[in-house]
Structure 1
Amino acid sequence: MSCVTRGRCDGDAQRQRRPGARDRVTAGGPQGRLSELIQLYLLRCDVEGKSQATIRAYRETLERFARIARKEGFPEEIEEIAAEHLYIYLGRYTGHSLEIRHRDFREVRCFFNWLIHAGYVSESPFRALKNVRLPRRIVRPFSAEGVGTLIEACDKSRPVGVRDRAILMTLLDTGVRCSELVHLDLADLDLAACRLRVLHGKGNKQRVVPFASRCGEALVDYLAVREREAGPLFVAALGNGRLRPGVRLEPNGLKQLLRRLGRATRMPKGHAHRFRHTFATWAIEADARELDVQYLLGHSSPDMVRRYAASYNCEQAARRHVSFSPGNALFVRP
């Protein structure tokens, strides 16, 4: 059996912690064992107010790490897990997308950083590892013609079509995330002030976002067929096109709605985030302040807004290229 699968060799088994590391919890508490410490970490996330979606994602990643650790014979004592064990763990992801590998690396590393802070380990085995680099992909915003085609494809003669039109207008005019839109309640809508209160933003941050008159008109039309006074703002629909009063539209239902409209208009990439990207790009094109776009989108830093700006600058450069194209200039006759 190799040194990796046995854990530390005998000479390293008794290595000392750096001064200041806390003694392991006794009296029935975690003794530095991986599975128990994962549960304690998830409890800490809950106590600190992280969203249930975030905690579920952490749980899936860390429980997958624990399963691989058991299968590969990693040391059960957390202090004995070293960089070579992490290489084995990360090697199990080589067939996955870069996004999945990057996310799982980051989430397990955060767990080990907490272990240092809590005193269960003296240093993180991640200190010598580098995460994979994610490619900077350019997401093209909708053209005005393209998004107009999607909106016009909503059948206003049916309640579900009226709802779909209101959803598309809200996504386009506010830039809210898919998860934020489906969690909106009727009480979050202020038609008089043309405002939406987003209570379930990323990281549980709350904000108020405005919408303009055309979006307001679509929402008024939708409320006329929605039937109930309270509950979720956007409700689910039946197969016959009727709405289901009081039953919240789920994220998967929103994705199906967008796929259906995309097929009908031959625009397969009409996902919810593209509406958000379009909102940001059009705002930047209209000379909106970076700080305003950051607030309206619910970002904690301007970094993401700058990525949208880079995408916009790329599009602008492509449009201007025809005016200075060296290839065209080569064949210009005097």
Structure 2
Amino acid sequence: MPKSPPAPDIAVLLPSWVLSLRADRKSPQTIKSYSDAARLYISWCEAEGATPLDRTSLRRWTTSLLDGGAAPATVRARQLGMRRYAAWLLDEGEITEDPFVGIKPPRLDSTVTEPLTEEELRALLKACEPGRDADPNDLFRGRRDEAILRLMLETGARAGEIVAIELADLDLAGGNVIIRRGKGGKGRSVPFGPHTAKAIDRYARVRNRHRLASSPALWLGDRGKGFTYDALHKTLGARASAAGIARFHPHIMRHTAAHRWLAAGGSEGGLMAVAGWTRPDMLMRYTRARASARAAEEAARLNLGDL
């Protein structure tokens, strides 16, 4: 009876998988999420003496993450990363069967994310204002961060989409930006108004003096550096802290933009087009926190009891 081939060293093969993900044009955020999940799982297996390509091991790891206080959505993403890795190993002929087929992801809680209030938004933008005697770096950061916040707030674009914008994608005069590659590889054209255009223009003028001004990227880091998703998360978190907003994360801007669009009377179809949603259930997920309040305001405007 022929012997089964030895299990591959999935830690050694990890760089090859990352190369494959890049070739498939996965977003930097997806690649990071998947590869981080694989590294965490491999490290856990080594510490626990567990067999990596084993259903029981994956379930034990998932349970350990949940027991450790990780959010179900985070654990779901971690598990998905490993399942994607196993599927790639099978496609590449490194294993003869996928051990994780049929494993169910953790059940997600039906969470509700409250949008930022108008007062919080004003405080957040005010936190970006450089002082009268600000040095060039503070001036640069302040104008950049205000432009980013206004663009996120008005368009509802994802943080990763914002970071990826290039100068060539921007039409300030026309009030439009092209999201070249949104989630799922889908691009779209996104409009914005004069206040956002003004903020971006003010940033662009100080950007012209940056050491990397010739870079195609719209957003640049201070002190001669580039600007990444992690940099956006860090700098906006610092602005929120200065504004006294404890519950801030970049994704809350997407929830807030969606709520403000509908509260102002915008259509659901228009919001889906601008935000890059293809399914109505995603729109409901992002806007349900204030759905009752919007319905009450709409009912008052309609005044259907006036007979």
Q: TM-score, normalised by structure 1?
A: 0.70
What is aligned with 2:219? 234
Q: Percent identity?
A: 27
1:1-334 aligned within 5 A: 33-35=8-10, 41-74=17-50, 81=54, 83-93=55-65, 94-97=67-70, 98-114=72-88, 120-122=95-97, 124-127=99-102, 129-155=103-129, 157=132, 158=134, 159-160=139-140, 161-228=142-209, 230-231=214-215, 232-237=217-222, 244=224, 247-316=225-294
Aligned-pair CA distance for 1:38: 5.0
Number of matched pairs: 283
Q: TM-score, normalised by structure 2?
A: 0.75
Let me know the Cα RMSD of the aligned residues.
3.4
Greater RCO, 1 or 2 (C-alpha within 8 Å, sep 6+): 2
Contact 1:187-1:230 within 8 A present in 2 as well: no
Secondary structure of the equivalent of 2:266? Answer: coil
Q: Which runs of 5+ in 2 are unaligned?
A: 299-307
Which range moves more in the overlay, 138-147 or 148-157?
148-157
What is aligned with 1:19? none
| Cα distance in 2 for residues equivalent to 1:291 and 1:255 | 29
Q: Which runs of 5+ in 1 are unaligned?
A: 1-9, 16-23, 25-30, 239-243, 321-334
1:168-208 Cα deviation digits (max 9, x unpaired): 22121122222222332322221121111223533443322
Cα distance change, pair 85–50 in 1 and its aligned pair in 2 (3 A): same
Secondary structure of the equivalent of 2:189? Answer: strand
Aligned-pair CA distance for 1:34: 4.6
| Cα distance in 2 for residues equivalent to 1:66 and 1:153 | 42
| Cα distance in 1 for residues equivalent to 2:76 and 2:144 | 37
Q: 1:90 corresponds to which letter in structure 2?
A: T
1:207-253 Cα deviation digits (max 9, x unpaired): 22111111112222223333346433233335xxxxx5xx4333344
Secondary structure of the equivalent of 1:196? Answer: strand
Which range moves more in the overlay, 200-209 or 184-193?
200-209
Secondary structure of the equivalent of 2:277? Answer: coil
Contact 1:34-1:66 within 8 A present in 2 as well: no
1:58-115 Cα deviation digits (max 9, x unpaired): 2232233334445555558x5xx3x333334334423140333222222222334455
Secondary structure of the equivalent of 1:237? Answer: coil
Contact 2:263-2:294 within 8 A present in 1 as well: no
Secondary structure of the equivalent of 1:272? Answer: coil
